[in-house]
Chain A
Amino acid sequence: MSTDVYEMVVGLEVHVQLKTTSKAFCGCSANFGASPNANTCPVCLALPGALPVLNAEAVTLATRAALALGCKINETSIFARKNYFYPDLPKGFQISQYDRPLATGGGLAITTGNGEEKVIGITRLHMEEDAGKSIHDRYPGITAIDLNRAGVPLVEIVSEPHISSAAEAGTYLRTLRQVLQYLDVSDVSMEEGSLRVDANVSARRKGETRLGTKTEVKNMNSFSGVERALTFEFARQCELLDRGERVSQQTLLWDAAKGEARISRSKEESHDYRYFPEPDLGPLILDKEWIASIKASIPELPPARKKRIAADFKLTPEEIEQLTANPVVAEYFETVARATNDGKAAANWLMGEVQAALNSRGGDLSEFSVRPADLAQLINMIRDGLVSHAAAKRVFAAMVESGQPPAQIAHEQGLLKVGDDAALAGWIDEVLAEHPEESGRYLAGERKLQGVLVGFVMKKSGGRADPKRVNQLLASRAAGG
């Protein structure tokens, strides 16, 4: 198959919407979902005489993303105008960065299919503004423009052509997405449009070092769509090369429904963007101390975190994946795990009782009524024999309701384990009296009924009896009478 002779070379350009409250260059809301053109003002409508003013938070989030991706921050970066005409680009130019972007030279480590670590280089990360939306199929024969999105801050993250397969591209995107989620800089949702991907793909004979002619593929709406598009385009290029033809540099649009990429008809001529420095904005000058403080504020990122948890706790890879999927969960888990020194118990409670409680009550783990320290206390109480498992569940339910610590609840509700032999003997007597058939058979020698009788005792004691001791006492009665 021709695709075996050639290798795929892919670079990805990812546009990420930053989760600021207001737009990049004006105070309009950057939020999703308002009625068309509700979030507009003279600046983002490009009314005559309006001027841009840069959003501080956009700079912070962009810098944080760049640092997390290992980039070098340019202390002075320059905004530039990218000039072209399109109805959803109100000024007739996009404010972007060209010669001197915010950041250059980073990398993202991914784990490839065969378990190896590979670093995908990141050429640059720069800031720019989003365009509005052109909706072509809402009304027949005309195009509807909504400028709510015009001016929302973006970062563009450009990777080196280091990606060598469709699967790797998918992994890169998933890894990148998780990092950006951890940083809380974006919602990174392809469905909502806060993450968009354009791919540059070329083919070359295996072993060849020069790059082949690349094509640009756009309009993928999901990570799997990216993978499928790359597979399709690579195969198309291989076929061309096999026939001795050359790949022409083109832009193609992916059609997910048809499973094919076709030449974009809207790119009638190559664009001359006539970049020049934006005269309405001065240079962006960041000081070293500020950059250092942003760097210090970056949380531990997923790859490192997973490694650490795997080293310190006995958990399966699936469990680790689930527990680190989201920084809030990861933080909660680790707090509980370290306070109990029992990763397994922490994992079980988190993925079990805690998840169930969140499911039924709704809400987020970040606002959950049970604090990690309290859950840890409960787990420790079980381990130390202060409550039984059954009682612990009742305590937990009460903790979810009231937000109070377990020791207090267990004490108030009398759920602490009872290990007092006299009390236990009393309950045992009552159970034996109430269940003559089973007790008769047990005392006659049917050891397997012990569990049932212990169960009756637990129930009678409201879960408070110490099951271990109950077992011992019953066994001694059976033995000695």
Chain B
Amino acid sequence: MAVTHDDVRHIAELARLGVSPERLDDLVRELNGILMHMEVLAQVDTGAGEDESPPFDRPPASTPLRADSSGPIPMLLPLESFAPSTRDGFIIVPRLASHDDPIESAP
């Protein structure tokens, strides 16, 4: 499966990575070079196994559960000390470029 320029533009957009036109050619070449080596996996017969995750030598354990009353993890520095822009306790970002809608959060 060869990666095209359009593919790279699309995934750069998905990943919010601005890729300059100069870099695009190099990236297409590099990614195709890398992906070529992955083709070998397609030929491997992995059989029909159940879902497993490491470590594989014992029955899977459930993800650990935490008590509801466990209390917050303390931070030794306040948010304002590392957030680039805050105001009245809120974290501030530029408005969405196409924004007009009063929706509170996305998808």
Contact = CB atoms under 8 A, between A and B. Distances in A.
User: Do A and B share a direct contact in the complex (Cβ within 8 angstroms)?
Assistant: yes
A268 B98 contact: yes
A265 B70 contact: no
B53 A282 contact: yes
Interface string B11-48: 00110100000000000000000000000000000000
A46 to B, nearest CB: 12
Contacts of B95: 136, 141-143
Interface of A is mostly: loop
A265 B89 CA distance: 29
A20 interface: yes
B94 A143 contact: yes
A58 B67 CA distance: 10
A42 B72 CA distance: 9
B2 to A, nearest CB: 19
Contact of B102 (A86, A137, A147): A137
B93 A27 contact: no
Nearest to A60: B68
A136 B70 contact: no
A264 B101 contact: yes
A283 B79 contact: no
Nearest to A30: B68
Interface stretch (A31-39, A108-116, A402-410, A424-432): A31-39
A37 B62 contact: no
A437 to B, nearest CB: 74
A63 interface: no
Nearest to B92: A142
Nearest to B13: A269
29 contacts: A22-B70, A22-B71, A26-B72, A36-B88, A37-B79, A37-B90, A41-B73, A42-B73, A42-B75, A53-B66, A54-B66, A55-B66, A56-B66, A57-B67, A76-B51, A84-B107, A88-B106, A131-B105, A133-B104, A137-B102, A139-B92, A142-B95, A143-B95, A145-B90, A146-B91, A264-B103, A283-B51, A283-B53, A283-B60
